[in-house]
Amino acid sequence: MGLEWEQTVVDARDPARLGAWWREALGWVVVNDAEDEYEIRPAADRLPGLIFSPVRENKSMKNRLHFDFRPADRDAEVERLLALGAVRADLGQGEQSWIVLADPEGNEFCVLSSRRP
């Protein structure tokens, strides 16, 4: 197959602010901070990246696509993300082994149960 996952584009009211939040959350680096595009990657030469692109409207419904993250320590990671400005999100998931959070613009993502040793 000839496809390589280059990046995921995230619509944002404030691309630089949201991109900077995700950069901090993921520990990634900024590779482009132009007015119309803010891109972060795990490292400058590593893919895939996240591009934050400006839109006028606010997010209005549940994401059709979201990220799942598997941390070494779920509860510690949730607390760290909440301290950065994430909020808990209730999508009707009920009691689960993962925790749903939302970034500062309301995009949901999941923090899965801790990695097994």
Confidence label for 117 from pLDDT (cuts 50, 70 and 90): low
Cα distances (angstroms) measured from residue 65 to each of 11, 30, 45, 69? 12, 23, 25, 13
Check: CB of residue 62 under 8 Å from CB of residue 108.
yes
Kindly state whether residues 3 and 22 are assigned to the same domain.
yes
pLDDT in tens, 17-49: 999 999 999 999 999 999 889 999 999 999 999
Both 30 and 75 in one domain: the answer is no
Are residues 46 and 94 part of one domain?
no
76 within domain boundaries: yes
**The two three-digit tokens of residue 90, written as one number:** 């209730």
Q: What is the DSSP letter of 115?
A: P
The CATH number assigned to the domain holding 45 equals 3.30.720.120
Split into its structural domains, the chain has a count of: 2
By the 8 A CB rule, do 111 and 64 touch?
no
Q: Is the dihedral of CA 97, 99, 100, 103 positive or negative?
A: negative
The CATH number assigned to the domain holding 109 equals 3.10.180.10
> What does the pLDDT look like over 47-87, one tens digit per residue?
999 999 999 988 888 888 899 999 999 999 999 999 999 99
Same domain, 14 and 41: yes
Residues 4 and 42 in one domain: yes
End-to-end CA distance of the chain: 33
